[in-house]
């Protein structure tokens, strides 16, 4: 992971929910915490918060907090977060091909 850019990249988006989160942010541009949680059936606020934290530290996600009561926090993709899209598309294309091959029998 230290010398291999592929492993480094995978490290950034590994985890059960991170890709789904990135996908939602790609669909939505800007989205609030609760709305995000509603769009990710099964995720707990613990995992969502933790995943968003890590994605923010990796500069993939931007967090905008408004000092209001009740609180309001908006999440969006950074430039770097948006730029992963082609790579994921390539991987998805291969994945679909692999799926066919494996389930051919």
Partner DNA sequence: CCGTATCCGCTCCGATACTG
Partner DNA sequence: CAGTATCGGAGCGGATACGG
Binding mask 42-61 for a second copy (x = CB under 8 A): ----------------xxx-
Among 29, 44, 53, 92, binds a second copy (CB under 8 A): 92
Nearer to DNA, 2 or 100 (CB): 2
Q: Is 84 in the site for a second copy (CB under 8 A)?
A: yes
Question: Do strands 61-66 and 72-77 pair parallel, antiparallel, or not at all (unpaired)?
Answer: antiparallel
Measured distance CA(96)–CA(23) in Å, rounded:
17
Element (H, E) at 73: strand 72-77
Measured distance CA(16)–CA(51) in Å, rounded:
9
Measured distance CA(30)–CA(24) in Å, rounded:
9
83 binds, among a second copy, DNA, none (CB under 5 to 8 A by kind): a second copy
The contact set with DNA (CB under 7 A) reads 14-17, 32-35, 42-47, 49-50, 52-53, 63, 65, 70-73
């Amino acid at each position: 992971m230290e010398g291999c850019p592929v492993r480094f990249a995978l490290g950034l988006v590994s985890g059960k929910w991170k890709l789904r989160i990135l996908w939602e942010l790609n669909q939505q541009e800007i989205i609030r915490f609760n709305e995000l949680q509603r769009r990710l059936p099964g995720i707990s606020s613990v995992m969502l918060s933790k995943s968003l934290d890590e994605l923010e530290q990796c500069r993939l996600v931007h967090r905008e907090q408004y000092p209001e009561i009740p609180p309001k926090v908006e999440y969006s993709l950074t430039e770097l977060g948006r730029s992963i899209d082609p790579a994921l598309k390539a991987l998805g294309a291969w994945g679909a091909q692999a799926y066919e091959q494996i389930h051919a029998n």
